[in-house]
Amino acid sequence: MIVIDAIIPALDEEGSLPKVLQGLAHRGLRRVIVVDNGSKDRTYAAARAGGADVVFTSERGYGAACLRGLERLADGSLPPPDVVVFLDADGADAPEDLAAVIFPVVAGLADLVIGSRVKGEAEPGALTPVQRFGNALSCALLRLIWDAEFTDLGPFRAVSFRALAQLQMQDRDFGWTVEMQAKAARLGLRCVEVPVQYRRRRAGRSKIAGDLRGSFAAGTKILFTIGKEALR
Ligand SMILES: Nc1nc2c(ncn2[C@@H]2O[C@H](COP(=O)(O)OP(=O)(O)OP(=O)(O)O)[C@@H](O)[C@H]2O)c(=O)[nH]1
Ligand SMILES: [Mg+2]
């Protein structure tokens, strides 16, 4: 049996988390870990009510939350999984796409699967023009430097536990997604993309893309992260 755990970073997502967790139920996940990143709302209660395993970190940042989730996988509370899935708590990723995202890793055909919102269907307004441009630019650089064939830096992704150990993830905020892809490409891991749907967040406040300052900070960090990997 292949064991699959999910990690969901969540910051003030009480409004959308119940639906996300409901959507993931009965899809073969052993454990859903919600990482509460210092929420001021009832994210904790929503996560527990949805059957998730909840852990905390007071350090803000998407990457910090994901790293906290990885710590949970390694703390011996359960044996490590074979595959780890990441997705957002805001309802933008579609739980119905889970099977497609994990399939290549489960089948042993890939080490890393990115759910591409560019190849799939993004609801109008779900991806901002700045985000589309940033994704395209980043993917062009990944292609140029490592000949990697990505079209997106989407949050919905699956990676084998073995590959995760090799990746030695470090980024604590916006560089997380691109760090994973750049390192996977640099290490020659088998990477594939599958089309996924992407919706506008269902509730709550945007923390990155919907905010110009957030977008700028994210874009800068993403380019910096690619540069750092390229120099290694
Ligand atoms: N930005 C940010 N997101 C976090 C943090 N901790 C957890 N998250 C979660 O990471 C996911 C992505 O954040 P979003 O605010 O949706 O960012 P985005 O998808 O670029 O932008 P919108 O969907 O337009 O809001 C959500 O599930 C957040 O709740 C954090 O410290 N910062
Ligand atoms: Mg979002």
Give the pLDDT band of residue 95 (cuts 50, 70, 90).
very high
Give the pLDDT band of residue 80 (cuts 50, 70, 90).
very high
Q: For 4-230, give the CATH class.
A: alpha beta
Residue 19 reports pLDDT greater than 80: yes
CA dist., res. 114 & res. 153, Å (int): 7
88 lines ligand 1 (CB under 6 A): yes
pLDDT of 143-198, one tens digit each?
999 999 999 999 999 999 999 999 999 999 999 999 999 999 999 999 999 999 99
CA dist., res. 115 & res. 7, Å (int): 15
Closest ligand 1 atom to residue 214 Cα is 1
Which of the listed residues 17, 42, 62, 202 should we mutate to test ligand 1's pocket, taking the one with most ligand atoms within 8 A of CB?
Answer: 62
Percent of the chain with pLDDT over 70: 100
5 lines ligand 1 (CB under 6 A): no
The predicted pLDDT at position 124 comes to 94
Short-list 208, 194, 179, 212, CA closest to 96: 194
Beta-bridged to residue 6, according to DSSP, are 32, 85
Residue 210 reports pLDDT greater than 80: no
Read out DSSP for 151-208? S---S-EEEEHHHHHHH-----STTHHHHHHHHHHHTT--EEEEE--B---SSS--SS
Could you tell me the residue ranges of all domains in the chain? Answer: 4-230
Long-range pairs of 75-81 with CB within 8 A, sequence gap ≥ 24? 78/30, 78/31, 79/3, 80/3, 80/161, 81/3, 81/4, 81/5, 81/30, 81/31, 81/161
What's the average model confidence in pLDDT over 102-119? 98
- For residue 201, report the distance from its CA to the centre of ligand 2, in Å: 5
If you take atom 21 of ligand 1, which residue's CA is the nearest one?
Answer: 209
CA dist., res. 39 & res. 101, Å (int): 28
If you take atom 1 of ligand 1, which residue's CA is the nearest one?
Answer: 207
CA dist., res. 98 & res. 232, Å (int): 33
